[in-house]
Amino acid sequence: RSLSSGSDGESRLARVLRERFPRAASVRVVDISGGCGAMYEVHVESEEFRGKRTVQQHQMVNEALSEEIKHMHGLRIFTSTPKP
């Protein structure tokens, strides 16, 4: 599975993240490769991250995207918990 088209890749990654983090308040995926689908930036705000260190949150995202990551050159991950 290639993530060649930017918008297709963004949609696919966002769908995978929403399935993995159903309580996410926000999921945003941006193709930062200039449109070739080789590098993405993901922002996930989810209650599932509460009480976890940043590295643990990023590991959760990496695990969720493990298949997609195989086709990428790079991935920037930003995670947070919803503000009360």
CATH number for the domain formed by residue range(s) 8-80:
3.30.300.90
Q: 25-56, pLDDT tens digit by residue?
A: 999 999 998 877 789 999 999 999 999 999 99
What pLDDT does 84 receive?
Answer: 79
Angular region, 31: left φ>0, alpha ψ -120 to 50, beta rest: beta
How much is the pTM? 0.86
What pLDDT does 68 receive?
Answer: 92
Residue of 28, 58, 25, 30 whose CA lies nearest to 43: 28
